[in-house]
Chain A
Amino acid sequence: MASIEFNNVSFGYEKDKVIIEDASFELEQEESICMVGPNGGGKSTLIKLLLGLIRPWTGQIRVFGNDPESSRHLIGYMPQHLNFDDQFPITTLEVTLMGCLSSGSKIGPYSRKDRASAEAALEKVNLGEMAKKRFSTLSGGQRQRALIARALVSDPKILLLDEPTANVDQSVEEEFHNTLKELAEQISIVLVSHDLGFVSGWLEHVLCVNRSVHMHPTASIDGKTLNEIFGDNIVAIRHDHDCPPGEHIHHHGEDCDHGK
């Protein structure tokens, strides 16, 4: 069974203003994907569709065979911007515990089981010792890992990360990359990035999102080629793998802008 399936999905927030047009792709279980495309191209919209926060105009979305809303518990999500206020007093464990929430959450405080899973998730990202520390005292990289732990705590089958390294420095990004690489062996990772340097061998596919949506394999592209492709002057992604010739001709800068 496919983990994610989009069939001819179209969506827009206003009438006549289509954001995602006729998107079709499929992701197998434990496969990982990097979603790229220009700002405003519809990446965030695709995430909302995937989480079942908005419904498509037409077409069908399936997450592990069900509609996204009822499969929400299978997705661990890490939002793009955490407008975190350093004066917000909250411990790392309390942040992680939020991952235990669901629409069917019992009233009252978190259960002992929730606490145990949150602690286990923090251990998984090597933050076990920071559980009782105030979240604001964590370094940038530690915060990112704590937010991953929060996304992992519900034991998801898909980890959905929206521009996770947008505001962190290079070294943090590398460390973060390694954490993800390990995780990718167990679950599907859907990574949104406008930074194409992030795309590398352990991600099976690249999904170009710019109103239209196209999937490309990365397996045949090694790191070096990727650097060439995404490095200084980005020219092209090899679109010939998935698509029969002539079905979609990709003019870069127009259809799927891979510029920096």
Chain B
Amino acid sequence: MGSELINALNEPLFDFLRYALAAGLLASLSFGIVGTYVVTKRITYIAGAIAHCALGGIGFGLYAKHELGWQWFDPLYGAIIAAVISSLIIGTVVLTRSEREDTVIGATWAVGMAVGFLFIKMVRTVTVNIESWLFGDINFVSSSDLWTVAILGVSVLILTILFHKQFVAICFDEEFARSRGINVPFFYMLLLLMSAVTVVLLVRVIGIIMVIALLTLPAALGSRLAKGLPGMMVWAVLICSIFLLLGLEFSMRIDAPAGPSIILVAGSAYFGFLLIEKILGYIKSHGGK
């Protein structure tokens, strides 16, 4: 039995699939790297809020494009702007400890989505398929998306190379980093902005709602396999690519949307790994008896 994915990739008419796969593999790089910081700094919930907030920008983008006539305005630009604004809001609250952190995160999350829905409902000249933004739809991936992913991905990579040691220090021990004169608020904010940009990269493929799982699950698995953070990043990038490939293959076989299929593969692998680890641990501790 051959691979449905490989057969489909050879199909001349399936440009979108080739774009989706290329975008996915390119984005895996940013996902693995930023996911590693997000998981070790334990800000998954914040990254999740930022991702959901992106819908506000997508809604505005669609409205601007179809109702205001801004033809050049890709909804993805809106997504990036909304994600950046929400990370600035959440980051400021966390850093100044001025309000209840979790309440503000939850509020930003919900308000972002509400704004998105309202804007989408105000688009009357065309029918917008909300589902494709929420759960992803690879039919919409174009060559220009590929460029966006590549440029943003390279930016994230450069920032990581420049500031990896500062990021590690604030993820591991913020108080110590502060005592060494590191500008903790600046790097924390930069990390949130990198997460914001990264989650938007795969919104077309995975969708707003589930993209957070692909950011964190590969990194979480990587943390169990690696001795150090660089190793964790390499594992996370690899695992993320594998999830994407297997997920796409799975979606073709069962003729289902790609986003949920990829997330299902990622989630099963993660929980499967945890289960196997528990069983092995149990056998080890009870083996002698």
Contact = CB atoms under 8 A, between A and B. Distances in A.
Interface size class of A (residues with CB under 8 A): 35 or more
B173 interface: yes
The A interface, classified by DSSP as helix, strand, loop or mixed, is: loop
Interface in A76-121: 77-79, 82, 85, 87-91, 94-95, 97-99, 101-105, 107-110
Nearest to A99: B180
A211 interface: no
A77 B176 contact: yes
B42 interface: yes
Contacts of B121: none
A103 B181 contact: yes
Given A89-B223, A105-B166, A51 B161 contact: no
B43 to A, nearest CB: 13
Contacts of A103: 180-183
B168 A90 contact: yes
Given A90-B228, A91-B227, A72 B180 contact: yes
Interface core residue of B40, B166, B175 (most chain A CB under 10 Å): B175
Given A77-B179, A107-B162, A109-B165, A89 B226 contact: yes
B77 to A, nearest CB: 29
Nearest to A53: B178
Interface string B205-233: 00000000000000000111011110110
Contacts of B171: 88
Contacts of B166: 101, 105
B176 A134 contact: no
Contacts of A75: 179
A239 B168 CA distance: 45
Given A98-B172, A109-B164, A110-B165, A89 B179 contact: no
Given A51-B179, A89-B229, A103-B182, A108 B161 contact: yes
A13 B136 CA distance: 48
B181 A72 contact: yes
B179 A79 contact: yes
A103 B186 CA distance: 12
A95 B165 CA distance: 10
A150 B172 contact: no
A110 B228 CA distance: 15
5 contacts: A79-B176, A89-B231, A103-B180, A103-B182, A109-B161
Interface of B: 40, 42, 161-166, 168-169, 171-173, 175-183, 222-224, 226-229, 231-232
Interface of A: 51, 53, 69, 72-73, 75, 77-79, 82, 85, 87-91, 94-95, 97-99, 101-105, 107-110, 132-134, 150, 154
